[in-house]
Structure 1
């Protein structure tokens, strides 16, 4: 007698592969692709020309509007935004974290998770535009945008770290008669601190990329001169700015990766 369950288990991958292929075909056929425009080819070629013929005089000229100065400003926006959000995310994380007694549903943790989802709903560029209207254009608006959005992301990651932490040290101190403050300072905090730092470094990597873009809407950083250079078709200036962003992001990723490996 043929076992239908074993046949389904053996060939079920064909069914899922067919469904996946059908979804891809449906998505591709729904695209209105009319080919690569001639203007796109010219712009792409001009950008590559700028990458190989960068405006070296723009790297540093002491004006405060040069590449080095604006990259430092971009890093400052990302660092300050991440630093502020890492501190403010901690109470949100404990609010949203589920305990052992309330693993599935609890009004406190559920409401905390909903708040973090609401914060993450707004993209950083939308937050930057809102803060520019509130506090004016500049780096301050960029810091506010990065920090608010990062609260939603770090709060979620921190709460998951709290939920998945090893509670052996907590239980040992509790069994020895330790108070809640002792358990927090001597067991809980040292256990979750490496995870918190790890997630913060990872978030800083993302914030550097975000801060590079926020300048395009007037929130400070390297994005503003990049937008101006593209609009004025100053491709050598575009090339040197893109090279600066590439080097900055690569170095930050390398340094952050090494630091996170030391924490694991």
Structure 2
């Protein structure tokens, strides 16, 4: 213990650095708090907040348990379909872009330009893509699928590139030494290394896309977001509670299932 204590006391005391960081964080915190204004909070707002909580705690069970096209279950299935199909489209389109972004596969100028394109794709928010596609295809699930597909490309390509650049090249060198063709090296040397990683990344992205698909409905891109917005605008808080409960249950189920599948893929 004496040795440990001596090492502890011998450690440099960067008080100036700590005080500077603490001062900067304090200034940023005070500046952020100054932007909060409670002047617009009225008595009616507090009563609305109580109604929202009451509606969530006493949901419309008929809407929650109805299985027609207006029920929560149907809207959740539609949301899952939008997220799933959008993830598949984005995953497929991301593969060639990922290989074009990998500096160990293509020349560095090509990789640099492709990465700039992916940065631009990731920069635009999903809600903006949704508004653009609605103008092209009209409101509905198809606009949501296209939006999810495009927004998935940026992140999936980035994660794919990390997997590609961490390939075990010694396997490919061994296959080259025994005279394997390019297709054989891809089939038996590259695909087995990348398949489980790519699939794990796709499942992770699907989990995120499910939340995005719920939000995209707010702008008319299908899914459960639009009924949620209509219910909120009409102050039907019981319906809002039903929709939120359905969303929470769906997210929990998908979260547990995706974590289990991803852990199996990663661990083998």
Normalised by the length of structure 2, the TM-score is: 0.88
List per-residue Cα deviations over 1:111-154 (Å, max 9, x = no partner): 11011111112111111111111011000000000001101111
Determine helix, strand or coil for the equivalent of 1:65: coil
Q: Is the 8 A contact 2:159 2:201 kept in 1?
A: yes
| Alignment match, 1:246 | 248
| Alignment match, 2:37 | 33
Change (3 A) 1:18 1:62: closer
Cα distance in 1 for partners of 2:94, 2:105 equals 21
Of 20-29 and 242-251, more deviation after overlay is shown by: 20-29
| Alignment match, 1:156 | 158
Change (3 A) 1:11 1:135: same
The CA deviation at 1:11 is: 5.9
Change (3 A) 1:7 1:189: same
Change (3 A) 1:168 1:10: farther
| Alignment match, 2:8 | none
List per-residue Cα deviations over 1:169-224 (Å, max 9, x = no partner): 22221232222221111111110111111111110011000111111111111111
| Alignment match, 2:24 | 19
The aligned runs of 1:167-178 (5 Å cut-off) are: 167-178=169-180
How many residues are aligned here?
255
Change (3 A) 1:101 1:142: closer
Instruction: Confirm whether residue 92 of structure 1 aligns to residue 97 of structure 2.
Output: yes
Question: Over the residues paired in the alignment, what is the CA RMSD in angstroms?
Answer: 2.0
Q: Is the 8 A contact 1:139 1:220 kept in 2?
A: yes
Structure 1: runs of 5+ lacking an equivalent: 1-5
Structure 2: runs of 5+ lacking an equivalent: 1-10
Cα distance in 2 for partners of 1:43, 1:159 equals 48
Determine helix, strand or coil for the equivalent of 1:16: helix
Q: Is the 8 A contact 1:60 1:69 kept in 2?
A: no
Instruction: Confirm whether residue 223 of structure 1 aligns to residue 225 of structure 2.
Output: yes
List per-residue Cα deviations over 1:54-83 (Å, max 9, x = no partner): 111112434312111100000000000001
The CA deviation at 1:14 is: 4.1
Q: Is the 8 A contact 1:60 1:67 kept in 2?
A: yes
